[in-house]
Amino acid sequence: MSSLQTKLYSLEFTKALPLKSGAHFGPYTLKVETYGILNAKKSNAVLICHALNASHHVAGVNDSGQTGWWDNMVGPGKPVDTNHFFVIGINNLGSCFGSTGPMSPDPATGIPYGANFPILTVEDWVLSQSYVADYFGVQKFAAVMGGSLGGMQAIAWGMMFPERVGHCIVIASSANLSAQNIAFNEIARNAIMSDPDFHQGNFYAHAVVPKSGLRVARMIGHITYLSNDDMAEKFGRVLRRPTGAKQDYQFSFDTEFEVESYLRYQGDKFADYFDANTYLLITRALDYFDPAMDFKNDLSKAFAHMQANFLVISFSTDWRFAPERSREIVKALLDNKHRVAYAEIDAPHGHDAFLLDDARYHALIQSYFVKMQGECN
C-alpha cells in the first residue's frame, strides 16, 4: 500500500458562470484537492461531491492536521483506491473553505458579498465542476460519487453530462427533498436569519457572527443525521451529574442530559468555523433540487437520457433520506432500462451512516470500484 499522493489547487475561472437563476457569476475561484495519479488515458478520474459542511479535503491529513471528511472511503487500498483512481475533491462554489463564497470580497466593492452572493443550485455546482474536469483534461469521469447532497450532484452529472460520466454513485440521497426536510432547513435558516448578529447577511462588516443561529441550525441538523435508536443507544436518558450532586436532577435549564451536552458542543464547534450565509445557500440548493420538476414531476422522463451506470445505496435507519427515496431513483432508472445496482444497508446510524466505516457498505463500494478498474485501462 503506497502513501497518499495529494495535490492542492486554487483554480481561477474568469469566465462568468451562467446560473440556473438567470444570473451570471464570476470571476470565481474553486479550491480543489486531488489524490492519486491521473493515468495517460485520463480515464481513471473520480469526482467526489460533498454535502453541507464538507470540502475539497476528502482524504489524508492536511497541513492543519485535519483528516479528510471521507478518509475512510478514499485512499491507498481503501474502497475508492487511490492506487488505481485519480480522485478529485472540489469545494463547491459558495462554500467557505477556500472557494469563492459569501465571505469573499466582491471585486466590485472590495467588501464581502454577504447577502449579495447569488443563490446557487446543484446544477450550477455541476457546471462549475465540469470546468474543473476540463482543467485536468478529463473528458469522462470513471465515476461521480457523493452522499446526501453529494448524491444529488452525482444525479445531476448523469443528467447534464450523460457522456461524461461512467458511473453515478448515489448514497443516502433522494431525487428531491420531502416537505419535512424542507421544513427542517427552513427552521435552521430561520434561526440564523433571526439572529440579530446576522445583519441581513452582512455581518462581516460588523465583525460579528450569528453564532446562536448557527448553533441552533447545527443542533437541528444533528438530530436528523442520527437515528432515533442511535440516539437512544448513544445517550439514552443518561444524566451529566455534577460531582457531589445530591439528587438526580439539578432542576435547571442548564445541561442536564448527555444528549444536551452533545448537541451544545456540536453547535458551538460548528458556529466557530462555518459561514452562516453558506449555510443558507447550501440548504436552499438542497430544497431546490428537483430534476423531475421540468418533466411534470415524472422522474422517469427526467432520467431518460442518462447514460451512466448507477450504484444507489441507502441505509435502513436513515429517516432524513429514507430508503424509499432511493428506491424512487432506482425505479425511475429501471423505467428507462438503465443499468442500476441498489443496496439497502442495514445500519443503525441513520443518515450519518454514509460517512461511517461499515464493513458491508465499504466492501460493496470496494468491489464496485475493483470491477470499474477494468473499464479504465
- Which are the catalytic amino acids? 148, 318, 351
**Closer by beta carbon to its own copies, 263 or else 313:** 263
Q: Does 328 bind its own copies (CB under 8 A)?
A: no
CB of 276 vs its own copies, minimal distance in Å:
11
**Closer by beta carbon to its own copies, 74 or else 353:** 353
**Closer by beta carbon to its own copies, 22 or else 110:** 22
Classify the C-alpha dihedral 338-149-164-372 as positive or negative.
Answer: negative
Q: Does 215 bind its own copies (CB under 8 A)?
A: yes
Say how many residues touch its own copies, by CB under 8 A: 57
Q: Does 248 bind its own copies (CB under 8 A)?
A: yes
**Closer by beta carbon to its own copies, 61 or else 183:** 183
Helix (H) or strand (E) holding 335: helix 323-335
Contact segment (CB under 8 A) with its own copies among 87-95, 104-112, 142-150, 228-236 equals: 228-236
Q: Does 22 bind its own copies (CB under 8 A)?
A: yes
Q: How far apart are CA 17 and CA 11, in angstroms?
A: 14
Which residues, 6+ apart, have CB-to-CB distance to 145 below 8 Å?
46, 47, 48, 49, 80, 154, 167, 168, 169, 171
Cβ-contact 164, 127 below 8 angstroms: no
DSSP state for residue 118 in the 8-state scheme: P
Q: Does 310 bind its own copies (CB under 8 A)?
A: no
For its own copies, which residue of 11, 38, 103, 223 counts as binding (CB under 8 A)? 223
Helix pair 122-135, 149-160: axis angle to 10 deg: 70
Helix pair 258-273, 211-225: axis angle to 10 deg: 120
Q: Does 24 bind its own copies (CB under 8 A)?
A: no
Q: Taking Cα atoms as reference points, which of 83, 39, 29, 95 lies closest to residue 59?
A: 83
**Closer by beta carbon to its own copies, 53 or else 176:** 176
Q: Nearest 5 degrees, angle CA 295-CA 298-CA 300? A: 110
Angstrom distances, CA of residue 346 to CA of 59, 349, 351, 355, 362:
25, 9, 12, 15, 13
**What binding mask, one character per residue, do residues 95-134 give for its own copies by CB under 8 A, x or -?**
-----------------------xx---------------
- In the region spanning residues 140 to 199, those forming contacts with its own copies, defined by CB under 8 A, are 176-180, 182-184, 186-187, 189-191, 193-196
Q: Does 287 bind its own copies (CB under 8 A)?
A: yes
Q: Does 296 bind its own copies (CB under 8 A)?
A: no
CB of 32 vs its own copies, minimal distance in Å:
26
**Closer by beta carbon to its own copies, 153 or else 227:** 227
> What is the DSSP code string of 303-314?
TTT--SEEEEEE
Cite the beta strand spans of 94-205 per DSSP E: 141-147, 165-171
- What is the SS3 assignment for 134? helix
Cβ-contact 375, 166 below 8 angstroms: yes
CB of 76 vs its own copies, minimal distance in Å:
38
* Residues at the interface with its own copies (CB under 8 A): 21-23, 118-119, 176-180, 182-184, 186-187, 189-191, 193-196, 212, 215-216, 219-220, 222-223, 226, 228, 231-232, 234-237, 247-249, 251-253, 256-257, 259-260, 263-264, 267, 280, 284, 287-288, 290, 293, 319
